[in-house]
Amino acid sequence: MTQLSMYGILDKKKKSGELSTAEIQFFISGMMNGTIGDYQTAALLMAIYINGMTTAETADLTDAMLYSGTALSFDDPTVVDKHSTGGIGDKTSFILAPIAAACGVKVPMIAGRGLGFTGGTVDKAEAIPGFKTDLGLAEFERRIKENGIVMIGQTSEIAPADKKIYALRDVTATIESIPLITASIMSKKLAEGANGIVMDIKVGSGAFMKDRAQATELAKSIIGTAKRFDKKAVCMLTNMDQPLGNAVGHSLEIIECIDVLKGNGAEDLTLISLHLAAHMIHIAGITKTFDEALIRATQSVKDGTALAEFKKLIVDQDGNGNVVTDYSLLDVAPIKMEIIAQESGYIKSFINNEIGFMCTELGGGRKVITDTIDYGVGFYFHKKIGDKIEKGESIVTMYHRAEQQELAEQICDTFNYKIIEITKEPVSKVTSIIDLITE
């Protein structure tokens, strides 16, 4: 039997060879115990980025990363989670999880913080006064069984190999690798005990995946890997060429989520949230068809049970549940500045990722991990792509602090001359749901 070595593994993958289960396990084990250095890990990541991985290799990598830490297991097909590749105004977790829970799904949410131009789900949750996300894994497991829904921050107990690999991918230009993305997502979702996963893959200028072909490739990789673990999975491709919903900024987004759960939300955000929740309900086996699940999801909003689940989640995690009726309990920056259209016409496009960067400049995001988030700043969009706009009409309302007046004026100029494009010719509205991939 040939003795395993990191040199041999690197040489094999450099030449586009297929790594064995034993070789992948040897790599993850050595990386975790320190016998394989960062320089060798980085070299392998680049070889994978260039030469790819087979479905079997991706599953083996997922498995090794999954068992690098604690892995929960629930003997319950109704334990289903959702994952999104993220984007500007992406806040669906706060809507779909209560909807799914109201319909009988158990939703285990281990979420992340924001860094860069996209907001983090945990940061948004912590905009709710008192909401506690730093629960241990044992408490997480107990609450899933007893309450059916829980949201916590990422923990070192779950897939620690992913944390090490991701940190190196971030600095070695190997982020955009379908096998590495798949293993990262699936190792964490499987470790939290999900028996099904609904994937929301964002496509467009404000998304990680810029085109449909790349997003489709990721979807097929996710589904293929899920099947090898005997888990159910569906992937929705959704549009991220404009902010999802109307609000960008932590408190503003929480308010918008509550509005959706009251039946008063933005059309695109409502549509995507209901469909994601319905897929969760369907693959949990609660309904026989997706159409029936969509009816159930819609009804839970109409009859108030989804909103009640959201309030219950907040209260169970020490938050102030009164926010669902009293928005003044949320910190919203007091100064409003209108970003005014400089000409009449139609909204043609947004440079969507720049909107996230502008929110970060106001303090609504992190430039480095140690930055403190200002939950109250952000933007509220009055117009979407394809909407008619008159000169002098407000496109966006910006929320900022009094001491940020000069910065706010600079951001206003940036919106008008860089971020928003207005054209004289009519423009088609975007399709919110681009595709559904189940095979």
* Residues marked as catalytic: 83, 162, 169, 184, 188
Give how far the C-alpha of residue 194 lies from the chain's centroid of Cα atoms, to the nearest Å.
16
Q: For residues 405 and 429, what is the distance between their CA atoms, to the nearest angstrom?
A: 33
Q: For residues 91 and 248, what is the distance between their CA atoms, to the nearest angstrom?
A: 9
Other Cβ atoms within 10 Å of 122 Cβ, number: 20
Q: What are 236's two structure tokens?
A: 């929705």
Residues 6+ apart with CB under 8 A from 114: 120, 123, 365, 366, 373
- Best CA proximity match to 82, nearest among 340, 278, 362: 278
Give the full edge-to-edge strand order of the sheet including 196-203.
80-84, 196-203, 232-239, 433-437
Residues 6+ apart with CB under 8 A from 126: 133, 373, 375
Residue 311: phi and psi, rounded to 5, are: -60, -40
- Best CA proximity match to 245, nearest among 271, 276, 275, 277: 271
Burial class (CB in 10 A: 0-12, 13-18, 19+), 2: exposed
Q: For residues 392 and 375, what is the distance between their CA atoms, to the nearest angstrom?
A: 29
Q: For residues 24 and 9, what is the distance between their CA atoms, to the nearest angstrom?
A: 8
Q: What are 262's two structure tokens?
A: 């009251």
